[in-house]
């Protein structure tokens, strides 16, 4: 339900809840758990707490590691070209 809702498919999310509630009732004779009923209500009311907000983490920027290039067996020419190209300043490469 949450995935459908966050994907802009509120009607389908509510339909999924209705199908689940019907199957639980028909097959097991139970009602959906309170948490699931609250989710249905939140979807119906389009509560902002359902909006996707990626967790913010404090991390160090990743640096590109330079490993040994001797592992590129049979690629001596290509490694040489890459090494030359990566050592050339950006302005020189454009010309």
The answer as to whether 16 is a domain residue is yes
Please give the angle made by the CA atoms of 79, 74 and 71, to the nearest 5 degrees.
65
The answer as to whether 61 is a domain residue is no
The answer as to whether 93 is a domain residue is no
**pLDDT for 88:** 61
The answer as to whether 42 is a domain residue is yes
The answer as to whether 13 is a domain residue is yes
CA distance 53 to 40: 19
Please write the tens of the pLDDT for every residue from 19-69. 999 999 999 999 999 999 999 999 999 999 998 776 666 666 666 666 665
The answer as to whether 70 is a domain residue is no
- Cβ-proximal residues to 75 (8 Å cutoff; 6+ apart), any chain: none
The answer as to whether 36 is a domain residue is yes
pLDDT band at 78 (very low <50, low <70, confident <90, very high): confident
Report whether 14 contacts 40 (CB < 8 A). yes
The answer as to whether 17 is a domain residue is yes
- Domain range for residue 21? 2-50
pTM of the model: 0.54
């Amino acid at each position: 339900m949450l995935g459908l809702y966050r994907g802009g498919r509120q009607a389908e999310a509510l339909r999924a809840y209705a199908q689940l509630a019907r199957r639980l009732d028909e097959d097991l004779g139970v009602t959906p758990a309170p948490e699931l009923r609250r989710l249905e209500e939140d979807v119906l009311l389009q509560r902002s707490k359902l909006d996707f907000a990626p967790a913010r983490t404090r991390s160090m920027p990743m640096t590109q590691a330079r490993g040994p290039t001797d592992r590129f067996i049979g690629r001596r020419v290509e490694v040489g070209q890459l090494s030359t190209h990566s050592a050339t300043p950006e302005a020189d490469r454009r010309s």
